Amino acid sequence: MKTPNPIPSPCRKSIFPRCYHLKQNLVIVFGLAAASLLLPEKTPAQCLTATAGGGWQNAVMTSQTGSFTATFDATPSASPTNSVIALSNGAQTAYANFACLVRFNPTGQIDAYNGTGYVSTTINYSAGVSYHFRLVVNLAAQTYSVYVTPAGSSTELTVGLNYAFRISDTTLNYWGVYVNSTGSGTDTVCNFSTGLQAAAPSFSPAPGAYGSAPSVAITTSTSGASIRYTTDGSTPSETAGTIYSGPIFTRSTTTLKAIAYASGYIDSAGASGTYSIGSSQTWALTWSDEFNGLARSVPDSSKWNYDVGGGGWGNNELEYYCSPTSGTPCNPGNPNISIDGNGNLVIKAIKDSSGTWTSGRMISSG
């Protein structure tokens, strides 16, 4: 059966032995012995944990068709147990369908599968200790080598060199973890990566000074990657910051930081930029007039021209427009336009003894 939406919290543990909150559909396949959970894709910041007898836990990785290196950290909760971490083409639920298999084996050692069976080693493991694995895979040759470094150690140990795939595959695009019912406890796998790094986010428009608040889009060229960002100066991570879902409005001066991340990728380098709003905008003065001058003087003739005449000006105006030097009906001795000596421009309407109205109409030059 399929659930089109995430399982509500709290999960019903009486029905499902483990609970997962997913953004995608959860497909539950019931076999003869036990239920197996097929997880199409893990949430990027999530570790996968398998429980003894609880079924395979699968997660998508960057699709590989050539040579590549996969790394991950695995922590068994019990020793001995019987747990496998493996690579496959598509999500799988049977050992035989995985190409590269690494195991915490039932006698307390770490080993790997070579063509037809596991090859014993003397590398012991302990409960509750994290082991860093490195798998060097050659799809063309259908071989892989396995290395492991225990937590707290700087020595990488060789588990196996150029082991043959268990099943022939030309593409590997999933990884899974499983604890057999003959084992015990759990196996938690984190930080799975194929060595590729997600592309750093970019901002559009670019950081800088803006007169008004821009709408900033954040993108990454890594397909399927998620982006988290902050606006308070803190550093975002897979679990810190706001998940980007659309353009951001920077209404005041803001430092924007972002990272991109995706399953199977190393987190991107951080991107950072400051958007300065308003106060950092530079303006250049191109024209002004402070109307400085003596009382009853006229405005600067290099900056001003005048409309002169009557006739209504298209809207039935009754006044006649005068310049400071216009003759009758204007009066240069009592001009309609003048400076008051206090930095102010005075435009006044005047009615003469004959009932004629005059005023002023100025036009800036240049």
Q: 218 with 163, same domain?
A: no
Question: Does 104 reside within a domain?
Answer: yes
pLDDT at 366: 66
182 shares a domain with 242: no
**CATH number of residue 227's parent domain:** 2.60.40
Mean predicted confidence (pLDDT) in 104-123: 98
Stretch 90-104: mean pLDDT: 98
Quote the pLDDT of residue 249.
87
Q: Residues 354, 208: one domain? A: no
Q: Which pairs count as long-range contacts for 285-289, CB under 8 Å and 24+ apart, including other chains? A: 287/364, 287/366
- Residue 220 burial by Cβ neighbours in a 10 Å radius (0-12, 13-18, 19+): buried
pLDDT at 30 > cutoff 50: no
Per the structure, the count of domains in the chain is: 3
Position 347 pLDDT exceeds 70: yes
Residues 48 and 72 in one domain: yes
Most confident of 59-63, 126-130, 324-328: 126-130
Does residue 117 sit in the same domain as residue 63?
yes
Q: Both 68 and 114 in a single domain?
A: yes
The residue written with tokens 């919290």 in the block is 9
- Of the candidates 109, 104, 103, 97, the residue with the CA atom closest to the CA atom of residue 165: 97
Split at pLDDT 50, 70, 90, the class of 217 is very high
Together in a domain, 24 and 133 = yes
Say what the pLDDT of residue 23 is. Answer: 35
- The residue out of 173, 196, 219 marking a domain boundary is 196
Whether residues 130 and 45 fall in one domain: yes
The number of beta carbons lying within 10 Å of the beta carbon of residue 183 is 25
pLDDT: which is higher, 227 or 28: 227
Distance, in Å, from the CA atom of 267 to the CA atom of 84, rounded to the nearest integer, reads: 26
Query: Same domain, yes or no, for 63 and 108?
Result: yes
| Most confident among 125-139, 183-197, 208-222 (mean pLDDT) | 125-139
pLDDT tens-digit series, residues 267-306:
888 999 999 987 555 667 888 899 998 999 999 999 999 9
Domain boundary among 176, 196, 216: 196
| Structural domain of 151 | 2-196
Residues 190 and 230 in one domain: no
CB 187 within 8 A of CB 81: yes
**Looking at the structure, do residues 169 and 228 belong to the same domain, yes or no?**
no
Instruction: Answer with the residue of higher pLDDT: 35 or 134.
Output: 134
CB-based contact 72:193 (threshold 8 Å): yes
16 and 160 fall within a common domain: yes
Q: How many CA atoms, within 13 angstroms, populate the side-chain half-sphere of residue 153?
A: 13
- Is 295 part of a structural domain of the chain? no
Predicted confidence (pLDDT) at residue 97 exceeds the cutoff of 90: yes
The sheet with strand 208-210 has its strands ordered as 208-210, 271-277, 254-261, 226-230, 242-243
**246 lies in a domain?**
yes
**Residue 115's domain is classified under what CATH number?**
2.60.120.200
DSSP state of 118: E
Q: Does the residue 322 lie in any domain?
A: yes
Q: What does the pLDDT read at residue 46? A: 63
